[in-house]
Amino acid sequence: MPNFSYQIQSKLPNAATSIFAIMSGLANEQNALNLSQGFPNFPVSRELINLVTKAMNNGFNQYAPMTGIIELREVIADKFSSLYGINYNPETEVTITAGATQAIYSIISSFIQKDDEVIIFAPAYDCYDPAIKLNGGKTIEIELHAPEFDVDWNKVKESITDKTKMIIINTPHNPSGTVLSENDMKTLEKLVRGTNIIILSDEVYEHIIFDKIKHQSVALFKGLAERSFIVASFGKTFHATGWKMGYCLAPAELMAEFRKTHQFNVFSVNHPMQKALATYMKKPENYLGLPDFYQAKRDFFLNAIKDSNFSIIPSKGTYFQLLGYENISDENDVDFAVRLTKENKIASIPISVFYNNKIDKKVLRFCFSKNEDTLLRAADILCRI
Ligand code: PMP
Ligand code: GLN
């Protein structure tokens, strides 16, 4: 292409390429085991794939309705009613999205205006802050206390101002693998009472939670549910991250505002996959088995690395395990992760990238959503470091 030098006034001057693209790219280039970006390396259910094929063969290949097909919205509403005892109206309170990422972007875009403040908790999943900035908002980052990564609610209280428009929570939490407790949720409920604050609750790992811990959805707390968007991802729940399918729920008034943005953001999302998911989700066993399925993977991985030099606090949810390397190296986590990928042929995610000020806790994140052979090969490498 001819080189035309255009004066770009970047809206995201400090945004680097996402760490997931960088580490997966490096893993491929180095032929390393890729436990960095979070995706399963085992197949999607054959039944679900057959349902997609059937929907395509049956002609569901044109635009789906803007808000998603009603059968899928109904089965989602049924799930929330049976798991959390809350009734969302499938017509007005559920929307199907292109993954959780698009839901998150459209929610932020619908409500955040210039100089609005949004509270997030760091380490924070990487798509929140850029979406806030692109809409003129200001990110107020509150640090979670390592190694438990718990929330200092006094700090949250002090950080709420008359400009606070939204608080984003994420449980089970990526990257730390911790979860919010019932007490955390009740404290948050009390803090936002009488304010105009919207909660964006990122619950993409709602079914990936261990040791019989109960997932504390905002749906369980009246004072939260009435002001919350819940965001979910079929990619996480059905081992199909490449499908980029998700959904969100919110009270009708908030959802109506969201849909104004959503219709111009994507209009509607993949039709045959919605058909397939609607049928597949009618059997709750297709998602209720996930805690046991992933807990077995976590335990298998942790058992295989128990004699390694890494420090370990078992993940309580998500398919990520943090490993501390303070007994192994003084290098910063980005350099260490890159070196492990190049020299030891195992890729992970350095967690400093999830903080605005890039705090280095000497911790790496490993994805255990892998088959046993991969987990054993990973453990073998990690035990030799
Ligand atoms: N939120 C969190 C916490 C995540 O880990 C991810 C990655 N799956 C997303 C949102 C985005 O989900 P999706 O791939 O459905 O866009
Ligand atoms: N959610 C995935 C993770 O945390 C990555 C998604 C992405 O690549 N953007 O690893």
Q: What is the pLDDT of residue 159?
A: 98
Q: What is the pLDDT of residue 365?
A: 98
Q: Which single residue is written with the structure tokens 């960095």?
A: 36
- Do 219 and 350 fall within a single domain? no
Q: What is the pLDDT of residue 347?
A: 98
* Residue 294, φ and ψ in degrees, nearest 5: -80, -30
User: Which residues, including other chains, have CB under 8 Å from residue 67's CB and lie 6 or more apart?
Assistant: 73, 94, 95, 96, 259, 262, 268
- Do 164 and 278 fall within a single domain? yes
Q: Token pair for residue 256?
A: 């109506």
- Do 347 and 241 fall within a single domain? no
**DSSP 8-state code for residue 225:** H
* Residue 1 covered by a domain: no
d(CA 141, CA 355): 8
Q: How many domains does the chain have?
A: 2
* Residue 74 covered by a domain: yes
* Residue 177 covered by a domain: yes
Beta carbons of 168 and 354 less than 8 angstroms apart: no
Q: Which atom of ligand 2 is nearest to the CA of 21?
A: 8
- Do 57 and 172 fall within a single domain? yes
Domain boundary among 222, 249, 282: 282
The finding on whether 366 has its CB within 6 A of some atom of ligand 1 is no
Q: What is the pLDDT of residue 55?
A: 98
- Do 66 and 190 fall within a single domain? yes
The finding on whether 246 has its CB within 6 A of some atom of ligand 1 is yes
Domain boundary among 282, 311, 338: 282
At residue 112, the 3 state secondary structure works out as coil
Kindly report the CATH number assigned to the domain that includes residue 136: 3.40.640.10
Q: Which single residue is written with the structure tokens 């949810």?
A: 317
Residue 254's nearest CA partner among 231, 274, 234, 226 is 226
Beta carbons of 23 and 349 less than 8 angstroms apart: yes
Q: What is the pLDDT of residue 4?
A: 77
- Do 131 and 153 fall within a single domain? yes
d(CA 319, CA 305): 16
* Residue 4 covered by a domain: no
- Do 136 and 58 fall within a single domain? yes
User: Which residues span the domain enclosing 296?
Assistant: 19-38+288-383
Beta carbons of 30 and 345 less than 8 angstroms apart: yes
Tens of pLDDT, residue by residue over 112-124, are 999 999 999 999 9
User: Which residues, including other chains, have CB under 8 Å from residue 157's CB and lie 6 or more apart?
Assistant: 191
Domain boundary among 282, 308, 340: 282
- Do 278 and 298 fall within a single domain? no
pLDDT tens for the chain, residues 1 to 385: 777 788 889 999 988 899 999 999 999 999 999 999 999 999 999 999 999 999 999 999 999 999 999 999 999 999 999 999 999 999 999 999 999 999 999 999 999 999 999 999 999 999 999 999 999 999 999 999 888 899 999 999 999 999 999 999 999 999 999 999 999 999 999 999 999 999 999 999 999 999 999 999 999 999 999 999 999 999 999 999 999 999 999 999 999 999 999 999 999 999 999 999 999 999 999 999 999 999 999 999 999 999 999 999 999 999 999 999 999 999 999 999 999 999 999 999 999 999 998 999 999 999 999 999 999 999 999 999 9
| Ligand 2 pocket mutation, candidates 22, 26, 35, 39, criterion most atoms within 8 A of CB | 39
* Residue 6 covered by a domain: no
Beta carbons of 209 and 178 less than 8 angstroms apart: no
Model pTM? 0.97
Ligand 1 center to 101 CA (angstroms): 6
Residue 32's nearest CA partner among 339, 354, 352, 371 is 339
* Residue 9 covered by a domain: no
* Ligand 2 neighbours (beta carbon < 6 A): 18, 20, 37-38, 174
- Do 268 and 357 fall within a single domain? no
Q: What is the pLDDT of residue 147?
A: 86
Q: What is the pLDDT of residue 146?
A: 85
- Do 153 and 187 fall within a single domain? yes
Kindly report the CATH number assigned to the domain that includes residue 316: 3.90.1150.10
Residue 366's nearest CA partner among 314, 329, 326 is 314
- Do 183 and 307 fall within a single domain? no
* Residue 211 covered by a domain: yes
* Residue 14 covered by a domain: no
- Do 336 and 192 fall within a single domain? no
Beta-bridged to residue 139, according to DSSP, are 118
Q: What is the pLDDT of residue 298?
A: 98
The finding on whether 101 has its CB within 6 A of some atom of ligand 1 is yes
For residue 78, CA distances in Å to 62, 86, 114, 341 come to: 26, 9, 37, 44
d(CA 106, CA 282): 27
